[in-house]
Structure 1
Amino acid sequence: MKNTDKRIGIISNRKRQSQEVYYLLKDKLRKNNFILNDKNPDIVISIGGDGMLLSAFHKYENQLDRVRFVGLHTGHLGFYTDYRDFELDKLIENLKLDTGAKVSYPVLNVKIHHGDGEVSVKRALNEATIKRSGRTMVADVVINQVHFERFRGDGISVSTPTGSTAYNKSLGGAVLHPTIEALQVAEVASLNNRVFRTLGSSIIVPKKDKIEVIPTWSDRHSLSIDNQHFLYNNLSKIEYQIDHHKIHFLATPSHTSFWNRVKDAFIGEVEE
């Protein structure tokens, strides 16, 4: 079977095991007549762990409409990975049988308004978290044009449904199935006492609604978007919405269901 119409991009971390798998997989793909193309791929294979898949997402986030992703793990079980490092032949066979099927998940759009009027836009697969550098952050939270609360604390995290199992979960947020196109707002160490008051629990916001976080101080803030970190001076506002693009994963018999991923990641096998 010829597969010359499929362009495959591969991205790997620098660990020895991942590099060994990287070169072995490249050799197997060539022998099976796949085209290796990191610039304009149809399918991107990330080798490493969930962090590597996040890096792959950001590398190709301007090609989301045409690229499908597949994760290959070289360590512990990953939330975004369907294959282990000893399953290369299985991956190759599934690529041969691929018909273009995909599993799609929502992506977070983050619009950053700077004090000088400049606006920059970024995307997140898991979450975006804003904090004030070294001090308590004070910010107004506006949901769908309704002033919801004045937040005081370490920061605010906004996550996608797939990101609900990441930092959001450690903040006490709920786990959302990715077919529920919604965002989740979670407070990071909020101050709640007789003087200051916030809701104190995570909030599920529907697809159509926009979330705005408006800092009351214009000094330095940090913004973490997945595994990327940025520092900004003089932020005026950050807007969060469901992006009109989605991330697409390769749908094969090895693509693990969301609830199996949640079970494997957090519960495992229960002894009776």
Structure 2
Amino acid sequence: MKFAITSKGDSVSNTLMHKMRTYLQDFDLIYDEDQPDLVVSVGGDGTLLYAFHRYRSRLDKTAFIGVHTGHLGFYADWVPEEIEKLVIAIAKTPYQVVEYPLLEVIIRYIDGGREARYLALNECTVKSVEGTLVMDVEIKGQLFETFRGDGLCISTPSGSTAYNKALGGAILHPSLPAIQLAEMASINNRVFRTIGSPLVLPQHHTCLLKPVNDVDYQITIDHLTLLHKDVKSIQCRVAKEKVRFARFRPFPFWKRVSDSFITDK
């Protein structure tokens, strides 16, 4: 089996990365950064997001596993003290593959001759570079509302515990093939109205955001921040691709939620 390891870059994570690489190679596993079957992320959720985007062209061939060297992560289920145990599991034990849904974002431009496609593991956010964001929100080809406010956040189920939760969105189990649309400080008065609640859309529903005025947009795809001009529409839906995680032991989602937000450690 071929493997690669990504590190957060701090001294603790780098030390663990080099130790794991040596141990796994001692078990005759092949280190291959270009075409790995398994990618081990050492750090936090941000490190795994980086690894996901680095290997997004190999999602059907590569599985991810996380080792957290800081706070408990939603994508990292191993701790530094378990490195030897994890190495033996990787080398000797077949792993279970768990798949999570992803968000597909397609940005089309006014000139009509090009489009940009992105995949998000956590979320996409849309904000106006200057002033209030004003966008028509279409669902399944029908106008749902004209949004006015600070911005919009479209998240995956696994990303529902991140920015989406801070916006008052629901926490969705990652077995659900859905996306969620949450508002950032919407304007609601006698003139302008929005739904005011997060929307959960199934995989066969497409959300289309259409600018009402000609402005530039700051669009994030997970940790990546992009500036887009001359935007005609932003299409969001559940992606055909999925992210694959390698599981060597149970890692219950609701226990992660409880440990992260409720349980005192």
TM-score of Structure 1 vs Structure 2, range by shorter chain: over 0.9
1:175 paired residue among 144, 157, 171: 171
Matched, 1:136 2:135: no
Q: How far apart are 1:256 and its partner, in Å?
A: 1.3
2:230 paired residue among 226, 229, 234: 234
Question: What amino acid is the match of 1:43?
Answer: L
Question: What amino acid is the match of 1:248?
Answer: R
2:26 paired residue among 25, 31, 37: 31
1:50-199 to 2 correspondences below 5 Å: 50-117=45-112, 118-199=114-195
For 1:24, what is the secondary structure of its paired residue? helix
Indicate conservation of the 8 Å contact 1:218/1:236, yes or no.
no
For 1:236, what is the secondary structure of its paired residue? strand
In the other structure, the counterpart of 1:212 is 208
CA distance in 2, matches of 1:194, 1:64: 47
1:200 paired residue among 182, 196, 203: 196
In the other structure, the counterpart of 1:257 is 252
Q: How far apart are 1:96 and its partner, in Å?
A: 2.3
1:16-36 per-residue CA deviation (whole Å, 9 max, x = no partner) reads 111111111111111121111
1:58-105 per-residue CA deviation (whole Å, 9 max, x = no partner) reads 000110001000001111111110111221111112112332520110
Matched, 1:266 2:261: yes
Aligned Cα RMSD in Å? 1.1
Q: How far apart are 1:269 and its partner, in Å?
A: 4.4
Q: Which runs of 5+ in 2 are unaligned?
A: none
Question: What amino acid is the match of 1:83?
Answer: W
Indicate conservation of the 8 Å contact 1:114/1:237, yes or no.
yes
2:12 paired residue among 7, 13, 17: 17
Question: What amino acid is the match of 1:196?
Answer: F
In the other structure, the counterpart of 1:248 is 244
For 1:86, what is the secondary structure of its paired residue? helix
1:23-64 per-residue CA deviation (whole Å, 9 max, x = no partner) reads 111111111211111100000001110000000000001100
Question: What amino acid is the match of 1:37?
Answer: D
Between 15-24 and 136-145, the greater mean CA deviation after superposition: 15-24
Q: Which runs of 5+ in 1 are unaligned?
A: 1-5
Question: What amino acid is the match of 1:24?
Answer: K
TM-score using structure 1 length: 0.95
**Aligned positions, number:** 264
In the other structure, the counterpart of 2:36 is 41
Indicate conservation of the 8 Å contact 2:95/2:248, yes or no.
no
Q: How far apart are 1:115 and its partner, in Å?
A: 1.7
TM-score using structure 2 length: 0.97
